[in-house]
Every structure is written in C-alpha cells, then in structure tokens.
Structure 1
Amino acid sequence: MAKSKKKGKTGVQKKQSTNSKWLFWTIGIVSVVVLAFIIFGNINKGSEQADISYENQPFLGEEDAPVEVIEFGDYKCPHCKEFNNTFFQLIDQEYIQTGKVKFYFMNYAFINVDSTRSAQFAETVYKELGNDTFWKFHKLLYEKQPDSAGAETQDIFTDQFLQDTLGEIANEEDVQKVVKAYENEEFKEAFRQDMSYAKKLNVSGTPALFVDGKPFEGSTAEDFDKMVKEAAEKKGQE
C-alpha cells in the first residue's frame, strides 16, 4: 500500500498479503474470488483511540449502525483503488449493507498536487451536491485513476478533468455550482479537518482504516470481523 514520500523518492511503496482467501457472493452469480488482502501498515505505532467528530463527513450505511469505520485515502494512490475494488466490496456486502457498520471516507492527500486537488474538489461536491453524489464521484475518480506505471506522480487530475468527470454524473447547473464553490475555496475547512485528523491519528500512508477510532492493523477479513464484533460488543450490540 502507499507509504508517505521521503526525500529523493517519488515512488509509492506497498506491502501485500496473498495468503488469505475469501468466498463471497457477487451480484447475480456465486463466484469464488481470490482476494489479495492489503496489509494496512500505514499507521505509525503508538496510535491510540482518538475522539473524532463524524459530523458533516460523507458516509455509507445506516444512521444508527453501531460501529463507525473510517478509511483514510488518496485518490492518486493505486493501492486505494485496489482496496476499493477488493476489500471494500467485502466490507460493503457484509457490514455496510447489513447495518453493522457506518463507513466514512476522509482525505489524507500526500502523493502529489493531484491528490490535494481531487480531495478538495470531492469535498466541494459533497458540500454542494450531497452524500449520494459524492459517493458516485468518489467511485468514478478511482475508476478513472490511470493504471500505467508512475501515473501516481503525474499531473492528471486537473481542474478541467475533475469538472468533466463530475459532468458524467451531474447536470451542467450542478457542475457550475460546484466549480464556483471550488474556486471560492469553500472546501477549506472540511479538507483541513480531514488532514488534521490524519495527523492526530498518526496516519502515514493510504489506505488506512480505523474502527471506532482505533487503528486496524490486521491483514485479513477475519481480523477485520473480529475488530468490528469487539467494537459492537463494547456498545452492547452485536
């Protein structure tokens, strides 16, 4: 997965585990899918549970879901794209859609200028057009992330690119509404808050998960399931 950049290095490093496999249902058919789980090593040791305000954050799931999960991500991170295509699908089916988890996305934009620009534009989409449109745009950004080697360090997510991408899911009036708010930097406080939380929680790369404010440091679906169940039990729910 992606690690924070160091001086003299532009590459994004990753670690993967291919030892775990998971069987799950796909839409319309039953398939056996080999899931290469990402090892979430993107949290500095010493992280502890932190108080987080989830107000005005984009989320998926039921309002009264007992457990709150945060993904810190970067739209230019290829391993965030991989996470959303694999592990997130399991989280969605097994935990979000079943009412066990309320899932939030927060920005940790660190790879290059595209990271910051896309995060700030997405924050504006959420502020101006709401939760549902945000998640459509969020998904589309990862789908449009180039697969070519070194693409994460290239200047691709330009203002025009982001505007055109939003135009695929929103009408022209709504696109211009977002563009105007973006140009006025109305994303400023929301983006600052996300980056502040990432610093407070010692996030050092993406993707990074937190379950009820505690860092997920496991590497398999079983590890995640155990942590969610423990969090639910602490609240008297299971």
Structure 2
Amino acid sequence: MEAIKQRRIQIILIAGIAVLAAVIVIGSQILTNSPSSGSPFARYANIPQERLPDGGFLLGSADAPVTLVEFADFACPHCQEYAPEIERFVDEFVASGKAKLEYRLFISGADPTYGPYTARLAECAAEQNPDSFFPAHDVLFQIGRAQGRFNDQTARTLADRLDLNYSALLNCADKADQFQADGNLGVSLGVQSTPTLMIRFGDAKPQFIQVGGQTYDRGGVPYGILKAIVDSVQ
C-alpha cells in the first residue's frame, strides 16, 4: 500500500508541476519585489511553535499531514538565497494548517565563526521567548542577504529587532549547542550540505524528495514541487 501511495504522489507531482510552472514564476517575481513586514513576529502571530523532544524547532499545526524539514546554516549564501522560498511556504501552507516546517541548525562550514554563532543566537532567542525562533530565523537570513556576512553587531541587531535582553542573549550564546544535535541528526540522514530539504509524512522518518527519477538530496527544491507534495496529501 505504501508503494502504491508513493507512486500516486509521484504521478500527481509530475502532472502538477508543469501546470504550476508559469504561475510559480510570476508569483516568485511578485514576492521578490514585495516589501517585508515591519514586525518579524507578524508572519508567525497565529502559528503554533514548539521544541521537539530532541530540541528541534517546529512550526505549524499538529494536525498537518506533512512536514518540510530544512537543514540550513544562516551563514550559507545558498541558504540565504533560498530563505524567501521558505517564507513563502510558511505563508501559503504552514499558516493555513496544511503543512509544518521543521528547522534544523546544520553548520555547513561556509563561515566557521559566525555559522555556529548565529545558530546559537537563534536558539537563545527562543530561550528568552519561545515564539522568537522563527522570527529570529527570518531576521538572521535578512541580515546575511543584506550584508553578505555577519559581524559582532549581529547579536545587537537581533536583540533590538526581537526586543530581547542583549546581555542575556550573549550569555546564552556562550553555551547553546542545539546545532550539534541537529548536525548529528543530519549526518545520520545523509545530509551533506546546505540547504537540504526533506519530507516527513505523518510521524515517519524524514526522506529526500524524489520526483521523476530525480532525488533532491542537496540544494533548494523548486517551489512547485513543494506545492505539489503538500497538495497531494490534503
């Protein structure tokens, strides 16, 4: 039965992607040119956020049938470029309860200093305010795209944008280590670079996305494919 279900999803994906292609391109252009919301919290105001038993960060309704699992590094240029697609996924599917987003802090080595440091800052934002992780996620990627790299003022900027206690944020960042657990998980699943996206159906183990004989085991996945996957399980 599982094999039949997977084949059905494959057929739906292949058929749906061609139809969606023009719409996706136009939509991407519109969103790319749209200004971001003034408050980093606005996107997530009505979406549940929680920590998983192993410390991972989860966004979305518990009833959503599918979870997009992203392994990414705030200091990774490709992750920074792909971040608007994740924001779009949240707006279209997570906010509507159709899907969840699970974020994993996976250090790529793009910046050996600020890769781990920004991962610690995001974790520590959530330590101060459990609703701050995903807003911190957005702010850090925005900083990375705007500046090209992080610096010693990144923590101050993050604290100001999210109304966090700056001193407490720095103290927490000295010992935060969720990125180590997430890194170990990623390696065990075959993750080798960032960004890497996987799909979890229900409570099953995350799996790489496969469409038309192609396995997306690294890099950003085209938005049309993500949309087709979510639509196929509703």
Question: What is the match of residue 11 of structure 2?
Answer: none
Contact 1:67 1:228 in 2 (8 A): yes
Q: Which amino acid in 1 is paired with 2:105?
A: N
Change (3 A) 1:22 1:161: farther
TM-score, normalization by structure 1:
0.64
Shift of residue 23, structure 1, vs aligned partner: 2.5
Q: Which runs of 5+ in 1 are unaligned?
A: 1-19, 25-30, 36-52, 233-237
Give the Cα separation in 2 of the matches to 1:107 and 1:136. Answer: 15
Pairs within 5 Å for 1:30-179? 32-34=27-29, 54-55=52-53, 56-85=55-84, 87-110=85-108, 111-112=110-111, 113-130=113-130, 132-146=131-145, 151=148, 156-158=149-151, 160-171=152-163, 174-179=165-170
- How high is the sequence identity, in percent, across the aligned residues? 20
Q: Which amino acid in 2 is paired with 1:198?
A: G
Greater relative contact order (CA < 8 Å, ≥ 6 in sequence) = 1
SS of 2:71's partner is strand
Provide, for residues 123-153 of structure 1, a one-character-per-residue CA deviation record: whole Å limited to 9, x for no partner: 12222321x21222211111111567xx5xx
Shift of residue 64, structure 1, vs aligned partner: 2.3
Give the Cα separation in 2 of the matches to 1:191 and 1:142. Answer: 16
Q: Which runs of 5+ in 2 are unaligned?
A: 1-19, 31-50, 201-205, 210-214
Structure having the higher helix fraction is 2
Q: Which amino acid in 2 is paired with 1:214?
A: Q
Equivalences, count = 178
Contact 2:71 2:196 in 1 (8 A): yes
Instruction: Give the superposed CA RMSD.
Output: 2.8
Shift of residue 180, structure 1, vs aligned partner: 1.8
Give the Cα separation in 2 of the matches to 1:68 and 1:101. Answer: 6
Contact 1:117 1:157 in 2 (8 A): no
